[in-house]
Structure formats: C-alpha cells, structure tokens
Structure 1
Amino acid sequence: MDVVEFLSQRIAEDEAAARNLLNDRSLSRSGEWYERRLLLECEAKKRLIGIVESARQAALAALVRESDGDAPWSPEALEWTRLSLNALALPYLDHPDFERHWLQL
C-alpha cells in the first residue's frame, strides 16, 4: 500500500467516525464543534493530497517530455511531494498499516 492509498483510507475512516458522532443526540456542543472541525480537516487533507499528486504528475510528465537529459531539474526535486505525503501520515503512526519508512525525512 502506498502512502496516498493509506491516507485516503484513514481519512475516510475519520470522516465516517465524525459523521456517526454528529448523529449522536447526546454529543455536547464542544463535541459537535470538534467533529465538524474534523470533517473540515479531512477535506483539507484530501485537497492537499490532490494538489501534491497533481504537482507530482505534472513534474513527471515534464521529465518525460524533457527526456534528452536537459531538464532544468531532476527527480530529486520531487522529494517535497514524498515528504509532504509522509508528513500527512504522521497522525496515523499507531495504525497497523503505517509504514515506518514514512517517518524518514
């Protein structure tokens, strides 16, 4: 499983849990605020993953177009995409599917 698939599954789980709790009539106002905030955080994470993945795909496409070796940057310049996605996985460190190499900087 790659980090994007892992994140997508965890975010979906977080969203489902927040929605279930929001349907609980005994939820306090502060609990309701927290669950609504969690839903917004899930949406923000999904958007960020989309941005990073789009940037990675565009950069890889540019590398393929510049296959003559004169590209102004190298694949190492894409390192920020890997680091960004790995950073988003950090809150799920205790999940059994979390891969320790995602901790590397």
Structure 2
Amino acid sequence: MDIVEFLSERISEDEAVARTLLGDRTVSKSGAWYEQRLLLECEAKRRLIRIVESARQAALAAMVSTPDQDVGWIPQSLQWMEQSLNALALPYYDHPDFDQDWFRT
C-alpha cells in the first residue's frame, strides 16, 4: 500500500466517524463543532494530497520529457513532496498499515 492510498483510506474513516457522530442528537454543541472541524480537515487533507500528487506527476513528466535540460531541482522537489505526505500520515502512526519508513523521513 502506498502512502496516498493509506492516507485516502484513513481520511475516509475519519470522515465516516465524524458523520456518524454528527448524526447523534446527544452530541453537545462543542462536540458538533469538533466533528464539523474534522470534516473540514478531511477535505483539506484530500485537497493537499491532490496538489502534491499533481506536482509530483508534473515533476516526473518533466524529467521524462526534457532529459537534456537541467532538471536538477526535481529530485529535491520530489523529496519535499514525499515529506509532505509523510507528515500527513503521522497522526495514523498506530494503524496496522502504517509504514514506519514514512515516519523516519
């Protein structure tokens, strides 16, 4: 399982829990606020993953399509993208599918 798939599954799980709790009429106003916030965080994470993935695909395409040009910036950019995704995975460190290598980088 790659990190994008892992993150997508965890975000979907978080979103499902938030929606379930929002449907519970016994949840306090502060609890409802928190659950709404969690839903927004899920959407923000999905958007960030799409942005990073688009940038990663563009960088890889640039490496392939312009091999004779200076693409020295691409490896470092790819490393930053990987570190960004790893940072998003950190809250799920205790999940059985979490790869410890994501934590080390």
Question: Which stretches in structure 1 are left out of the alignment for 5+ residues?
Answer: none
How far residue 104 of structure 1 moved from its aligned partner, in angstroms, is: 1.6
* Structure 2 unaligned regions, length at least 5: none
2 CA distance for matches of 1:76 and 1:55? 12
Number of residue pairs matched by the alignment: 104
Give the C-alpha shift of residue 66 in structure 1: 1.2
Aligned partner letter, 1:82: E
Cα offset, 1:64, TM superposition: 0.6
Checking the alignment, whether the CA contact within 8 Å between 2:49 and 2:85 is kept in structure 1 is yes
Q: How many Å separate the matches in 1 of 2:63 and 2:71?
A: 9
Match for residue 63 of structure 1? Answer: 63
Q: 1:73, CA displacement in angstroms?
A: 1.8
Amino acid aligned to 1:44: A
Distance 1:40 1:17 in 2: 13
TM norm structure 1: 0.94
Q: Deviation string for 1:2-22 (max 9, x for gaps)? A: 000000000000000000000
Give the distance between the partners of 2:104 and 2:75, measured in 1 at CA: 15
| 1:76 Cα offset (Å) | 2.0
State the partner residue of 1:8: 8
- In 2: Cα distance, 1:72 partner to 1:45 partner: 28
1:36-69 Cα distance to aligned partner (Å, 9 max, x none):
000000000000000000000011111111123x
Residue identity opposite 1:73 in structure 2 = G
- Say whether 1:28 aligns with 2:35: no
* Identical aligned residues as a percent: 65
- TM-score computed with the length of structure 2 as normaliser: 0.94
- Give, in whole Å, the separation in 1 of the partners of 2:5 and 2:60: 19
RMSD: 1.0
